[in-house]
A and B are shown apart, each in its own frame.
Chain A
C-alpha cells in the first residue's frame, strides 16, 4: 500500500500534468483553494450588494445602472435582482466556498499528509473530482448572464418558485442552470468523499491507529461519510425537480395553482416533499461545513497552547454523535411548514441533543486553554475566534431548535444571525485559520504576520458588528429575504441598525483584501521557511521536507509511535514529541 507511487522529481512533469491535470493531492488541494478564493470574492461581492440595498434602500446611482443594465436599470436595485443576489450568495457560499474550501481543499491537502500516505487511494478520481467541481462553479456563475437572470428561489430552491418556469424571471433558465451546477457539485463531492473515507480507512501509516489520528483528519473522515449519506437525497430531489420543471410532472406541485389568471395543470404533488429531501441533505451539510473547522481548531489550539488537547476521545465521540444526530433533526427547518405537533416535538428533542456533544467540544477547548501559556499567532487567533463564534451561534441554535420559539423567529433575521455565526462563521474562520496555519507547509514561505493580525482583528470585530445586531432585528420582526424593510411601518425605526450593519459589512468585505494580498504576495515574496516544522507541531505533515514532491516523503514513510498531542510530555527534550519519534526506551544508539 505504502509504496504505490514513486517519488516523481519536479523536473520530470510537464506544466499540464503538474499544475492543470495533476494527480497530486497537494496540487489538487491548492487548485480547490484557488477556485474557492475566486468564488468567495464573487459570493462576498453579492453580499455587499445585498447589504447596500438594506442599508440604503432605494439608493439611486448612475454607476450601478451602467454596471447592471437590467438589475439596476434606472439606477435603483430592482426586487427581482435583489432576490437573485441573496440566492446566489447563499448557493455560492454554502456549496462552492464553505464546502469546497475546508473539505475538498484542505481535506485533499491534509488527509494523505496527516495519515502518512503517498497520495489518495484513487488519484485519478481525485483529479476528476476537481474537474467536475470547476464546470459546476462556472455554470452557476454563467447563470447571471442568461435571460431572466440567475436563480431567485433562495439557496434552498423551494418549489413552487423553483419548479414553475414562468413563476418569476429567475425561475426560467437561471434555475435550470442552478440545478445543473448543483448536480455537478454533488458528483464532485461524492468522488471526493469516496476517496477521503477509503484513504483514511486503508492507507494509514504503520502504527497510526484510528485513535491516534489528528482531530482534523477525524473531522474529515466523518464529513466524508456525512456527504456520502446525505447528498444522494439532494440528488434525488434535483432529479424530481428537473422533471417537474422540464417535463411537466407534479412531484412538488399541488392542484389548483395559478400563474396570473391561468390555472396550472399540475396535481397531486407537494412542496413539502422537496423540503424534506432538501433538508435531509441540508442539515448534515451544516456539519459538513463546520466539522473540519472544529477539527482545525482542536489541532491549532493544542499546538499553540503547547498542551495535549483535553479529552481527545470525547472529542472524537462528540464529532461522531454530532454526525449521527445531524441526520435526524432536519424537521427543525420545517416547523412552520405544516408538521404534526408530535413530530415537531421529536425534532425539537433531537435538535437539543446536539447541544450536548457541542458543549463537550466547547468545554474541552476551554479546558485546553485553561491557564495555558498561549502563543498568540494568527492561526491561534482565528481558532479562538471559532470558539467564540461557536458559542454565540450555538446558543441561538437552542432558541431556534425549540419549536415553540421558532414559530416566532422562523424566517427572520434571527435565523440569518444564527447561521452566519455557527455555520458560515465557523466555516470561514476555520478556512482562515487553516490557511494561516498550513501556509508554510503548502508554499514553503511564511505569510506576513502583521498583515495577518490586522486581518484577524478587522474580520473578528466587524463580523460581530454585522451579525450580532441581526438578532435584535429578528426579534423585532424583520423578516429574512425582505427587499425593503421600510415597506412596513413597524420596521422603519430599525433603519439605523441596518445602516450600521451595512457599514460594518463593507469594512468586513474590504478587510478580506488583506488576506488575498497577503496570500499571493507571500507566495513569491514571503519569508522562506527554515524548518520543516515551524510551529513545533506534532502531526505527521510537519515531518515532510520543506518542498515535498509527488509522493510526499522522499524516503520511507515515517512510522507512527504516538498520538498527535504529546506536548509537555515528561520524556520530551523540548516541550513536544512529534508522532514519528519512537518511544525513548526503544531508542538504541
Chain B
C-alpha cells in the first residue's frame, strides 16, 4: 500500500495536487454542500409540520383559505425564473455578457413577482383571520406551519434576489465571473426546488 500506484495516481482524479475530484473548484463544491445543508434545514421544518399534522385529528382543506390557481401561478413564475437563470448561466459561460445580463434581470423580475405574490397571499390570509396562534379553520398549527415555512422560504427568496442583484450589478461593472453567476444560480435553483416541495407538501397533499 505504501509506495504502490504512482502510475495509477497520475490518472486518478483523487490523486491530489492540481486535480479536482469532482472537476469543480472549491467555490462551487462549497455551494453544493451548503445547498444540501440548507435543504436539510427545510427538511427539518417540513418534518415538524408533517409531525403536527399527523398528530392532529383533523386538518383544514387548503382550498378554502387559498386560491389554488394563484398558488399555481406563483409556482410557475418561480420555475420560469429558474429557466431564465439557467439561460443566464449558459450565456455567461459562452461569454455572451449581453444575454447573460438580460436573463439575469429576467430572473430577478421573476423573483420580485413571486415575492409580491407572497406578500399578497400573506395579507389575504391574515385578512381572513389567520394568526400565528389561531385561525378560523380550526387547527392552530395549520396557520403556524404556514407562516413559519412559507416565511422561511420567502426569506430565502429575498436573499436569493439580493444575491442576484449583486451579481447583475457586478456583471454590469464587468466584475462578475461565469463561476460567480453559476454559484448564484445554484442557490437560486435550490430555492425554487424547495418551493416545489413546499407547494406539494403544504398546499397539495
Q: Which of A's residues lie within 8 Å of B, judged by CB?
A: 1-2, 115-116, 121-122, 190, 194-195, 197-199, 201-211, 228-229, 231-233, 235-237, 239-240, 243, 247-251, 265-270, 272-273, 276-277, 280, 312, 559-563, 566, 569, 583
Distance in Å from the Cβ of A353 to the closest Cβ of chain B? Answer: 23
Distance in Å from the Cβ of B70 to the closest Cβ of chain A? Answer: 25
**Chain A residues, Cβ within 8 Å of B48:** 236-237, 240, 251, 273, 277
B29 lies within 8 A of chain A by Cβ = yes
> 24 A-B residue contacts at CB 8 Å?
A116-B16, A194-B30, A198-B29, A201-B22, A202-B25, A203-B26, A206-B17, A209-B9, A232-B40, A236-B45, A249-B133, A249-B144, A265-B133, A266-B140, A267-B140, A268-B140, A273-B48, A273-B52, A277-B44, A312-B1, A560-B16, A561-B6, A562-B3, A569-B2
Interface string of B152-171 (1 = CB under 8 A from A): 10000000000000000000
Question: B47 near A2 (CB under 8 angstroms)?
Answer: no
Interface string of B1-34 (1 = CB under 8 A from A): 1110010010010111110111001110110011
Question: A583 near B40 (CB under 8 angstroms)?
Answer: no
Q: Which of B's residues lie within 8 Å of A, judged by CB?
A: 1-3, 6, 9, 12, 14-18, 20-22, 25-27, 29-30, 33-34, 36-38, 40-45, 47-48, 51-52, 55-56, 132-133, 139-141, 144, 148, 152
**Chain A residues, Cβ within 8 Å of B45:** 236, 239-240
Question: A235 near B18 (CB under 8 angstroms)?
Answer: no
Question: A232 near B38 (CB under 8 angstroms)?
Answer: yes
Distance in Å from the Cβ of B57 to the closest Cβ of chain A? Answer: 9
**Chain A residues, Cβ within 8 Å of B40:** 229, 232-233
Closest 7 CB pairs of A and B: A236-B44, A206-B17, A204-B16, A232-B40, A121-B26, A232-B41, A208-B16
Distance in Å from the Cβ of B74 to the closest Cβ of chain A? Answer: 23
CA distance A121 to B34 in the complex (A): 14
**Chain A residues, Cβ within 8 Å of B9:** 207, 209
Closest residue to A566 on the B side, CB-wise?
Answer: B2
Q: A249-B141, A563-B2 are in contact. Are A269 and B33 (CB under 8 A)?
A: no
Distance in Å from the Cβ of B129 to the closest Cβ of chain A? Answer: 16
Q: Which of A115, A122, A270, A583 contacts B55 (CB 8 A)?
A: A270
**Chain B residues, Cβ within 8 Å of A569:** 2
CA distance A116 to B15 in the complex (A): 13
CA distance A247 to B151 in the complex (A): 14
Question: B2 near A562 (CB under 8 angstroms)?
Answer: yes
Question: A122 near B30 (CB under 8 angstroms)?
Answer: yes
Question: B15 near A206 (CB under 8 angstroms)?
Answer: yes
**Chain B residues, Cβ within 8 Å of A115:** 16
**Chain A residues, Cβ within 8 Å of B34:** 190, 194
Question: A232 near B44 (CB under 8 angstroms)?
Answer: yes
Question: A248 near B16 (CB under 8 angstroms)?
Answer: no
Question: B52 near A269 (CB under 8 angstroms)?
Answer: yes
CA distance A460 to B149 in the complex (A): 49
Distance in Å from the Cβ of A343 to the closest Cβ of chain B? Answer: 14
Closest residue to A233 on the B side, CB-wise?
Answer: B44
Q: Which of B15, B37, B144 contacts A207 (CB 8 A)?
A: B15
Question: B44 near A249 (CB under 8 angstroms)?
Answer: no
Question: A270 near B51 (CB under 8 angstroms)?
Answer: yes
Closest residue to A191 on the B side, CB-wise?
Answer: B34
Q: Which of B37, B139, B141 contacts A229 (CB 8 A)?
A: B37
**Chain A residues, Cβ within 8 Å of B38:** 232
Q: A190-B37, A202-B25, A209-B12 are in contact. Are A583 and B140 (CB under 8 A)?
A: no
Closest residue to A586 on the B side, CB-wise?
Answer: B6
CA distance A266 to B6 in the complex (A): 66
**Chain B residues, Cβ within 8 Å of A190:** 34, 37
CA distance A478 to B142 in the complex (A): 42
**Chain B residues, Cβ within 8 Å of A1:** 17-18, 20
**Chain B residues, Cβ within 8 Å of A202:** 20-21, 25-26, 29
Closest residue to A125 on the B side, CB-wise?
Answer: B30
CA distance A231 to B9 in the complex (A): 35
Q: Which of A229, A232, A273, A561 contacts B51 (CB 8 A)?
A: A273
CA distance A216 to B9 in the complex (A): 22
Q: A209-B9, A583-B3 are in contact. Are A198 and B140 (CB under 8 A)?
A: no
**Chain B residues, Cβ within 8 Å of A210:** 14
Distance in Å from the Cβ of B170 to the closest Cβ of chain A? Answer: 17
CA distance A237 to B148 in the complex (A): 12
Distance in Å from the Cβ of B48 to the closest Cβ of chain A? Answer: 5
Closest residue to B133 on the A side, CB-wise?
Answer: A248
CA distance A269 to B140 in the complex (A): 9
**Chain B residues, Cβ within 8 Å of A277:** 44, 47-48
Question: B26 near A209 (CB under 8 angstroms)?
Answer: no
CA distance A562 to B34 in the complex (A): 33
CA distance A236 to B46 in the complex (A): 9
Give 6 A-B pairs besides A198-B30, A270-B51 with Cβ atoms closer than 8 angstroms: A201-B29, A207-B6, A207-B15, A237-B48, A243-B148, A566-B2
Distance in Å from the Cβ of A346 to the closest Cβ of chain B? Answer: 18
Question: B140 near A235 (CB under 8 angstroms)?
Answer: no
Question: A247 near B133 (CB under 8 angstroms)?
Answer: yes
Q: Which of B26, B29, B36, B44 contacts A228 (CB 8 A)?
A: B36
CA distance A1 to B45 in the complex (A): 38
